[in-house]
Amino acid sequence: MRDEILTSAKRIVVKIGSSLVSSKDAGLRPDRIDRLADEISMLRTDGREVLLVSSGAIVSGIKKLGLKEYPKSLPVKQAAAAVGQSRLMWAYEKSFERLGVKVAQILLTHQDLADRRRFLNARHTLAALIGFGVVPVINENDTVAVDEIRVGDNDSLAADVAHLVDADLLVILSDIDGLFTQDPRKNPSATLIPLVSEITEEIEQRAGVSTTFEGTGGMATKVRAAKKVGEYGVATLILNGQQAGLLPTVLAGGDGGSLFLPKGRRMTSRKLWIAFTLRPQGQLLLDAGAVVALAERGKSLLASGIIDVKGTFEAGDPVSCLNQDGKEFAKGLVNFSSDVIARMKGLKTVDVQQRLGPQEYDEIIHRDNLVLL
């Protein structure tokens, strides 16, 4: 199964970690970028479509600005990103140009992905670039992003891009070999796990955090990304990008890295967008009957099944649906604001109409806008 997934994947999102293309002392590493460009070009020669999600802009900017340490304030981080992003893109431009390959820069924020129209525009743009044989180089728009619109880390961004372009495979290149049975830094006898069929709580707990200057994530963010795209029906390969030639070798069926298998089902793009891209703006606590209706019978959510409303949100916003234990089991787009739902909760449809007058919708969340988690 592992060989079949790796050798047959046509559209691949490759995430390149900061430690592969930059360092605290040297800034950008053109030699590393040239080598990665060579390997990406080899994949394209084999008929693969490749999109890059590349870190490294901030570290590159830190070196150029002469900063002694990683900046703590947002304005300085954004200044470093502004200086470093152009240098990073120019390095990719030069590396791929010598191979006769065109590249394009795409900068995204979470807001671009959360807005359905902008999401679809980005999707169509990337499809057009791929059609022209261009390699998109994608990064978070750190220069303008604030906490409210940040994706967070580029492992998460790469997972979002895999959904955005309907990828067959996500490859996360870093300075680690993959997932081990134990932390290899603490236990030399730890062994690499070549195939992960399911991401369990034990595996999530086993994943550590990054301690490097360059990286903002570690194995934990990579496992979360693998879990996320697994829900899309996409496999994830975590691979050591510092080993020359390993990427094309493994994708040809060779040994190396850890492959995380996807789940069997694959949602529609819209349902995936609701489930994994949108951030809930509030919560609806449901009674047992409503939980069963949604989870087991595929019904829409009506006002009669709502016990409580938490948070402030508007019509069209994403909200979490909680069972009586307070556990999130579904997410959907509401047809009414939190104020209106608070007045409707617990009422049957006929009672809603009598008290509040005729409403445009009978459902609080229509089943077409609801996703079970």
Residue 222 assigned ligand-binding role: yes
Residue 308 assigned ligand-binding role: no
Residue 154 assigned ligand-binding role: yes
Residue 218 assigned ligand-binding role: yes
Residue 219 assigned ligand-binding role: yes
What strand order describes the sheet that includes 135-140?
Answer: 103-108, 135-140, 49-54, 11-16, 169-174, 235-240, 258-260, 195-196
In angstroms, the CA 214 to CA 50 distance is 24
Residue 175 assigned ligand-binding role: yes
Instruction: Please choose, from the candidates 51, 54, 32, the residue with its C-alpha nearest in 3D space to the C-alpha of residue 43.
Output: 51
Residue 267 assigned ligand-binding role: no
Residue 244 assigned ligand-binding role: no
Residue 240 assigned ligand-binding role: no
Check if the beta carbon of residue 352 is closer than 8 Å to that of residue 303.
Answer: yes
Binding residues: 15, 55, 142, 154, 174-175, 216-222
| Annotated binding residues for substrate | 55, 142, 154
Q: What residue numbers does the annotated binding site for ATP cover?
A: 15, 174-175, 216-222
